[in-house]
Amino acid sequence: MKSKIDTSPEKINNLLSRGVEEVFVAEHLKNALLSGRTLRVKFGIDPTSDTIHIGRAIVLRKLREFQDLGHTIVLVIGDFTAQIGDPSDKLEKRPMLSESEVKKNLKRYKTIAGKILDMKKVEFVYNSRWLTKLNFKEVSKLAETFSVQQMISRRNFQDRLEKGQEISLREFLYPIMQGYDSVAVRADVELGGTDQLFNLKAGRTIQKFFGLPEQDILMTQMLEGTDGRKMSSSWGNIIAITDEPSDMYGKIMALHDNLIEKYFTLCTKLSLEEIASIQKELANGANPRDSKMRLAREIVALYYGDHEALNAEKNFIETFSRGGVPENIETIKGDPVNLLGDTLIAAKILPSKAQWRRLVLEGAVVNIETNQKVTDPFAATSAGTYRIGKKTFIRIE
């Protein structure tokens, strides 16, 4: 039995405004939502990583709003396009992923997306199903719908051209493929971030080429990551929705104070009225730490429940606010003849020597028992309890 479409003006207005940067074409989409017609709402994910971060989750949560109104969500997994590489907002050529890398990253996607969407009501499709069938003649026809001038007018391409950096022809093909996805799934609406504008509009262009109605576009606001840049798996500045509760809580507590309101708006279910009240308290001199604790608690609870959120908060208070050490921290064997950095890398505490050097130079490696920072990247391994970065603790015997 077909589900009834909810046409509540209040819910529709919230869907079209909260956390939304732009809607194209706004009036057309609003009328479509009010019409009671079931819309096919597309979102494409290239599995360039094996997890989903809370910046990407903004779009998934917006998809959930469409789903709760009764519309059909079409989740397009770009198992083919991930091998090509999306150039959007990239300052250098993106490497092509191998088929095995894509398959590895795909394994957890459905489970992770299920933390937000009702996957029993989602059309879960892979774009290799249709893109691998296109022959060179068909691709050539699609390529005729765009000019080289249009492609190189993209801001990131302009930046790279000015720096004399290489732009490959395959990067020009990406928006054509994403646009063809909209034809294949017959999308009425497509969602994405503001960095995806060119690709999203490509969907309209390719749909028009095939004589189909052009999709409306809803772009969500972009979320800054832990280093202040756009949150991106490629840059490693993410808060993943699969992070352990304590890790997620700690990362949120480390955010810049000026991001508190934005994170409440984009990453929690708190009402806008309550968020405005929190912002007013901050403007009147309230301690940002208290607001960030509320923020961290709300976000962790969203993905793990209230109990885990409270445990993460307790752990944070014990560990960071009172200078304590978490219980049951990992213990590894160390040999004084080996360098401390090599010991941590061998135990998979750190991924690389470059990461180790960076942490040491930042003063982020501390022997808690002696309260001494490790200042030499070539320091020998010595027994003790160490804090590595802001949230990792390790005991060396």
Domains delineated in the chain = 9-220 (3.40.50.620), 245-321 (1.10.240.10), 330-396 (3.10.290.10)
- In angstroms, the CA 239 to CA 230 distance is 12
The average pLDDT across 145-167 equals: 87
pLDDT 10s digits, 279-329: 999 999 999 989 999 999 999 999 999 999 999 999 888 776 555 666 667
Of the given ranges (108-122, 134-148, 254-268, 353-367), which has the lowest mean pLDDT?
353-367
Tokens of 220: 């969500």
pTM: 0.77
390 against 374, higher pLDDT: 374
pLDDT 10s digits, 49-73: 778 899 989 999 999 999 999 999 9
Tokens of 316: 């944070």
Band of pLDDT at residue 229, cut at 50, 70 and 90: confident
- The phi-psi region of residue 41 (left if phi > 0; otherwise alpha if psi is between -120 and 50; otherwise beta) is beta
**The predicted structure's pLDDT at residue 285:** 92
* DSSP 3-state of 332: strand
**The predicted structure's pLDDT at residue 86:** 57
Burial 56-94 (b: 16+ CB within 10 A, else e): bbbbbbbbebbbebbbbbbbbbbbbbbbbbbbbbbeeeb
Provide the angle, in degrees to the nearest 10, between the axes of the packed helices 306-316 and 245-253: 60
**The predicted structure's pLDDT at residue 277:** 96
- Which run of H or E residues covers position 375? none
The average pLDDT across 238-256 equals: 87
**Unique residue bearing structure tokens 């052009």:** 214
Of the given ranges (6-10, 22-26, 243-247), which has the lowest mean pLDDT?
243-247
Q: DSSP assignment of 27-85, as one string? A: HHHHHHHHTTPPPEEEEEE--SSSS-BHHHHHHHHHHHHHHHTTPEEEEEE-TTGGGT-
- In angstroms, the CA 262 to CA 225 distance is 12
Question: In this structure, are residues 28 and 188 in contact, taking their beta carbons and an 8 Å threshold?
Answer: no
Average pLDDT, the chain: 88
* DSSP 3-state of 301: helix
**The predicted structure's pLDDT at residue 91:** 45
**The predicted structure's pLDDT at residue 90:** 46
**DSSP tag of 255:** S
**The predicted structure's pLDDT at residue 100:** 79
